[in-house]
């Protein structure tokens, strides 16, 4: 049994990862600050799902709910720490009290457009917060970690597909710049302190438990409610949409890889090597939701890239990554999940 620390472990990707690690018999220390980017009760429900705890949460007082949550999730192999990665003392206390062996660092302020509105917050959470995790690891002798990066670091480069060997010095949003900064800082700590590192560049993750502010979730909610969809550009922008099951497969493969290797620093894409246009996304949602979209078109937004397209050959080579969820199937599953979980 290995003790893993998962930052952002109550979120979309993190809760799925915690669930899988627990299912494999490991111990998990989940760190999350339950911020107000979206309703905190969604994350509370993620915790209950990932630990297979059945008591529902439909209360209204955040402080009271969060104080009670660790007591209700009664699993000796799962520890929930409600804390902010910007709090260095809190991070130090977690690492001092737990025998953490590997860190999976997923906590971050996400989203391109919000980062343009508040770049200082993104720097504080994504860069300084990541350095706090690295400092806690250095101080307490934790020498292996995975860190979530993003396809956004590629910017609007024209070479396709995006390879880990491509230069990434033309980012077009503060969010992307902070993720690139984390990659550079990860290499620095690897070089100076021998922390084995895999930086995983996620490509547009979707699926069950997806955050409500992300496009697929938001579009489906609007379709179901008969609301107008606001789309930017002309519908030709393309994304490499990656289902959560394939991302978790990649995370687990990367974990196995880093646990068996020494003195490694790698940057690895996790995508599907397949792209879908914005209008194709909407049409797929229309088919599976059974509703026609009423679309309002607006100009392109600053910071949005034209396309993302992952070269996944390195992930295949290093740890056998093999995404298997077809986009049509993934959307069908998401619609089924959404309708079953609509109360959240």
Indicate which residues carry an active-site annotation: 175
In this structure, what token pair is assigned to residue 136? 């806690």
Radius of gyration of the chain (CA): 19
Nearest one of 38, 43, 12, 55 to 208, comparing CA atoms: 12
Three-state DSSP string of 158-227: CCCCECCCCCCCCCCCHHHHHHHHHHHHHHHHHHHHCCEEEEEEECCEECCCCCCCCHHHHHHHHHHHCC
d(CA 112, CA 116): 7
Q: Are the CB atoms for 4 and 104 separated by under 8 Å?
A: yes
d(CA 264, CA 308): 26
Read off the DSSP letter of residue 310.
B
Q: Are the CB atoms for 144 and 259 separated by under 8 Å?
A: yes
Distance of CA 252 to the CA centre of its chain: 14
Q: Are the CB atoms for 91 and 136 separated by under 8 Å?
A: yes
Nearest one of 42, 48, 54 to 217, comparing CA atoms: 42
Q: Are the CB atoms for 94 and 79 separated by under 8 Å?
A: no
d(CA 308, CA 172): 13
List, as one string, the DSSP characters of 138-164. HHHT--EEEEEEEGGGGTT--SSSB-T
């Amino acid at each position: 049994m290995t003790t893993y620390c998962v930052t952002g472990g109550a979120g979309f990707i993190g809760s799925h990862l915690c669930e899988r690690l627990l299912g494999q018999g490991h111990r998990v220390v989940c760190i999350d600050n339950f911020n107000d980017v979206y309703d905190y009760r969604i994350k509370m429900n993620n915790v209950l799902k990932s630990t297979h705890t059945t008591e529902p949460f439909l209360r209204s007082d955040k402080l009271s709910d969060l104080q009670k949550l660790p007591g209700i999730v009664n699993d000796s192999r799962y520890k929930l720490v409600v804390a902010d990665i910007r709090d260095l003392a809190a991070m130090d206390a977690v690492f001092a009290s737990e025998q953490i062996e590997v860190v999976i660092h997923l906590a971050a302020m996400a989203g391109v457009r919000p980062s343009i509105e508040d770049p200082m917050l993104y720097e504080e959470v994504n860069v300084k917060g990541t350095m706090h995790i690295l400092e806690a690891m250095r101080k307490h002798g934790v020498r292996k970690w995975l860190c979530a990066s993003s396809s956004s670091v590629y910017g609007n480069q024209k070479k396709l597909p995006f390879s880990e060997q491509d230069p990434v010095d033309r980012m077009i949003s503060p969010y992307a710049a902070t993720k690139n900064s984390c990659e550079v800082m990860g290499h620095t700590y690897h070089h100076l302190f021998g922390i084995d590192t895999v930086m995983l560049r996620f490509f547009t993750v979707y699926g069950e438990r997806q955050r409500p502010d992300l496009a697929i979730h938001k579009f489906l909610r609007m379709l179901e409610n008969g609301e107008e969809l606001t789309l930017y550009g002309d519908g030709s922008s393309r994304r490499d949409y990656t289902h959560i099951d394939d991302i978790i497969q990649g995370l687990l493969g990367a974990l196995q890889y880093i646990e068996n290797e020494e003195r490694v620093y790698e940057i690895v894409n996790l995508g599907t090597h397949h792209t879908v246009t914005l209008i194709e996304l909407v049409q797929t949602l229309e088919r599976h939701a059974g509703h026609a979209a009423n679309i309002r078109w607006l100009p392109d937004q600053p910071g949005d890239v034209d396309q993302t397209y992952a070269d996944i050959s390195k992930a295949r080579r290093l740890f056998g990554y093999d995404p298997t969820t077809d986009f049509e199937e993934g959307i069908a599953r998401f619609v089924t999940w959404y309708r079953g979980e609509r109360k959240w």
